[in-house]
Chains A and B, each alone.
Chain A
Amino acid sequence: MGSGSGLGGGRRVSVLYFARSAELAGLRCETLSVPREITSLQLWEEIVKVHPRLALIRDQVVFAVRQEYVLLGDQLLVLQPGDEVAIIPPISGG
């Protein structure tokens, strides 16, 4: 499953898909290899490369790394093996 693997110092991170993103990705979690140092936007784009349908909800997700919100942008992330990346679209049902 690894895209972005092969780069020196790649990191295998655990990507979790919730709600609509799980439907669009067709799975609920997977392990992806990504560069150890990467901006949040690049990390998102790595994931979208694997699941192009996710691009549809880019503006409506909480993107969380290590259970913490990350704005999609230039913020540099230094990833550790096994870090949890979560894509959380809001759900509105009740």
Chain B
Amino acid sequence: MTVADQLVERPSTITAPAALTFRRVRRIFRGGVEALSPTSLTVQRGEFIAIVGPSGCGKSTLLRLAAGLDKPTSGEIELGSESLGYVFQDPTLLPWRSVEANIGLGLEIAKVPRRERAEKVARAIELIGLQGFEKALPRTLSGGMRMRVSLARALTGEPDVFLFDEPFAALDEITRQALGDELLALFARQRFAGVFVTHSVAEAVYLSSRVLVMSPRPGRIVAEVAVPTEYPRDPEFRFSTEYSAAVADVSHALRHKAGPRGAL
């Protein structure tokens, strides 16, 4: 029995449907490359998980499949909610729109009335701490601020399921840690289900209660590391023994199960 199969058979004590379920989902690209070998996983409501793996292990494919941006070759995907948040690796802001117009884009496309839109945008701006930058254009902002705008935009959809595709990968370490803390604060308030794809072990452990380790070609889940520390977590968590132990476990799994030799 593979690790992936054990994941789906974990008995669920919660009667409400899971936030996200993959049942033996497989994706083969045109040309025959197997990006994702049959994978099963369940993300419960209010659960924050992370997926780590080397480049090209299919973790982004997994996320794109979950969001409906890509269709599986076989298998089933079930989303427990209609309201989905997705944060891309780059902030994907429209450079001709101001911060507030960017944040309101999704609402605008969904034809939400102007007044309601303005209220929701203002709330997201407050939640992310972008006050004073409403009229600024993206090109005048730093990378970290742009990512904040991107987060605020995703928040306006009031997502129950929040998917993150290496959103902080292009940022410097200090900004990255700051945004990680902000994300945890947000999680504490909104209690969405989160799937955070990253190739930073430290980030994965810090944010999530469960880290799934993927191996490349064909992409599959090879290990799962639990991070039992309760939320809310504060920056001191980074210096705890629980944190170090989890980082060591994930690193070990990456090295021995997801590495080129481990794949053999």
Are both chains from one complex? no
Using a CB–CB distance below 8 Å, which chain A residues touch chain B? none
